[in-house]
Structure 1
């Protein structure tokens, strides 16, 4: 049943309005302020929901990691499973990013095209930072300082005792196609004949069979191959260049880059990076 008595609050408000004529203006201002605050709060809630959905999508989508799995000890197949230094780093990185991961195998010369066309999200395959590559792709912070070294036969150790003897000798020099080692030989080995191979393993096999005089490759690869063939092959202990290995991403993927750099710093600070290096490069000086 409807109450016939006037609402007490309405009577009090009416009386106050008669006593203070400016009350109506103040009430109107308060209403506008209240409405503005409500709209701002709603916008924040919507923005928060949108960010959450974006972050959830990123967390559930696997990080597609491009690898050329013929590059021991950096990345290779072991018993049919992808293994190596980059594989361990990938597991640790995905854990820090709180994302699942997926290895996408390809050949070395297709890594950058696959990144640019969106088939993969990141290259983790022992790639060096170079100006030529930076024109097309971006790099995260470097995780390893390295350089090019020479793998030689033990019987030839006296021939290659200095960097000059390595770089100026008339030699058949093996390289892996598309690597910074191949670039170095073309630019700096004035008297050498470059012999390109699809993999470092194939080049080491050719070296042991006297088909080439040396192999130029990244230091971790050279140390690994020397340990695998220590009866016949050895390292010429001179680093010929100074290079930095880093993970490559698309140039417009700045959010992923920032997240990866933060994860890398954590891997450095908690010792994970050094533990992985020691596992896969025990022969490194």
Structure 2
């Protein structure tokens, strides 16, 4: 009887030791891992001007969030390494540990936050149509756009596609793999409309006189962007939120917006 009791005590001790070990591992923040590694892995799509763009001439990422990532690395005291991803695989990359943070103009929404963490916002945006300038009298409202025969181009996996799928019932929806290809297809007449964030619509229209951003100050939605990270890592989230706050207080985001957006 005494041996059985001793055996149970030993089993209980082993069980508690295992729980303690699991808790210690679980409590290790990604923040600590980044500092130990000496580098931070930034997931970015490279296809969304002016936030993340892979310049084919230099083969380097550039844009608002690329510069922000460099400032993030500087604040952490670590090197910055970029990992290219897609809108389809953006969340999976965080879940699978392919990168520590995703930075590329990511809309904060409740669907994403079921799976991943999102920082406090750093810029406000909203969905807005990009069309040909010649069609500015034709497409003034969402009702004008949602008509039979109108072709709407969307990049799969992001909030642009979700908005279109939820709100377009009659127009034709064309899924185009590369986000950067859609404006060119509008200019060429292959697509009539792209619904995207007003920041991108204004930038692209400013670069191509054939294109036109429809009323970008009065958007279909009212959204904001944040940076994506693992969901339950509160130590890392708190650090990133303070960094975002300090970037705002110091006017760093304002300077990035002047450089990349208000041109």
Normalized against structure 1, the TM-score is what?
0.75
**Counterpart position of 1:233:** 211
Q: Distance in 1 between matches of 2:177 and 2:33?
A: 40
CA RMSD of aligned residues (A): 1.9
Do the aligned residues in 2 keep the contact of 1:71 with 1:221 (CA within 8 Å)? yes
Q: CA deviation at 1:208?
A: 1.1
Q: 1:82 aligns with which of 61, 76, 82?
A: 61
Per the alignment, residue 251 of structure 1 pairs with 231
Q: How many residue pairs were aligned?
A: 229
Partners of 2:127 and 2:220 within 8 A in 1 = yes
Aligned equivalents of 1:56, 1:255: Cα separation in 2: 12
Q: Aligned to 2:199, which of 220, 228, 240?
A: 220
Structure label with greater radius of gyration: 1
Match of 1:267 in 2: 247
Please show how residues 18-57 of structure 1 align to structure 2 within 5 Å.
none
Higher helix share: 1
Provide, for residues 197-234 of structure 1, a one-character-per-residue CA deviation record: whole Å limited to 9, x for no partner. Answer: 1222211111111111111111222122112212x111
Residues of 2 paired with 1:199 and 1:71: CA distance? 10
On the 8 A contact 1:97/1:260 being kept in 2, the answer is: no
Q: Deviations over 1:45-90 (max 9, x none)?
A: xxxxxx9xx9697165211100111111110123221100110111
Change in 2 beyond 3 A, CA 1:165/1:114 = same
Shift of 1:163: 4.0
Residue ranges of structure 2 left out of the alignment (5+ in a row) = 1-27
Give structure 1 regions of 4+ aligned residues with deviation exceeding 6 angstroms: none
Q: Which residue matches 1:242?
A: 222
Distance 1:264 1:131 in 2: 20
Given candidates 50, 66, 73, the residue that maps to 2:43 is 66
- Give the Cα separation in 1 of the matches to 2:181 and 2:33: 44
Greater RCO (CA < 8 Å, at least 6 residues apart): 2
Q: Does 1:93 align with 2:49?
A: no
**For the Cα contact (< 8 Å) 1:176–1:217, is it kept in 2?**
no
Secondary structure in structure 2 of the residue aligned to 1:124: strand
Query: Is 2:198–2:213's contact at 8 Å kept on the other side of the alignment?
Result: no
Q: 2:96 aligns with which of 117, 124, 129?
A: 117
Q: Larger strand proportion, structure 1 or 2?
A: 2
Alignment partner of 1:125: what SS? strand
Unaligned runs of 5+ in 1: 1-50
Residues 97-123 of structure 1 deviation map (CA, whole Å, 9 limit, x = unaligned): 233221111222122111111111011
Q: TM-score, normalised by structure 2?
A: 0.82
- After superposition, the Cα gap between the structure-2 partners of 1:199 and 1:220, relative to the gap in structure 1 and judged at 3 Å, is farther
